[in-house]
Amino acid sequence: MEAPQYVAARVQGALAEDERTNELGIRVDVRGEQLFLRGQVSCEERRGLIADVASEAAPGLVVRNELTVVDVRTPEEEEKL
């Protein structure tokens, strides 16, 4: 069985390299048969894509998507409200 840190590194690499995600800021943690995704993303669609890529990179593990969606308006957009 592959060591958890290697699985986590493989998933992080997949998230960075996959054209659907190109994501660097996601924390990946493997505990037993579970893979946890933590961090912040800009929209619900992105949250789902990251979980999809992680699941493909670590088949057989249960993906626990703990990513939070944050509003990423610029300061200029904030002032218009």
Contact by Cβ (8 Å): 12, 22: no
Domain contains 24:
yes
Domain contains 77:
no
What is the spatial distance between Cα 29 and Cα 58, in angstroms, rounded to a whole number? Answer: 12
Strand partners, 69: 41
Instruction: Say what the pTM is.
Output: 0.84
Q: DSSP class of residue 31?
A: E
Print pLDDT tens along the chain (81 aa).
689 999 999 999 999 999 999 988 999 999 999 999 999 999 999 999 999 999 999 999 999 999 999 976 666 665 665
Domain contains 78:
no
Q: Which domain holds residue 17?
A: 4-71
At 77 the pLDDT is 61
Q: What is the CATH number of the domain that holds 25?
A: 3.30.1340.30
Domain contains 81:
no
Domain contains 14:
yes
| Parallel, antiparallel or unpaired: strands 27-31 and 34-41 | antiparallel
Give how many domains the chain has, as a whole number: 1
Domain contains 76:
no
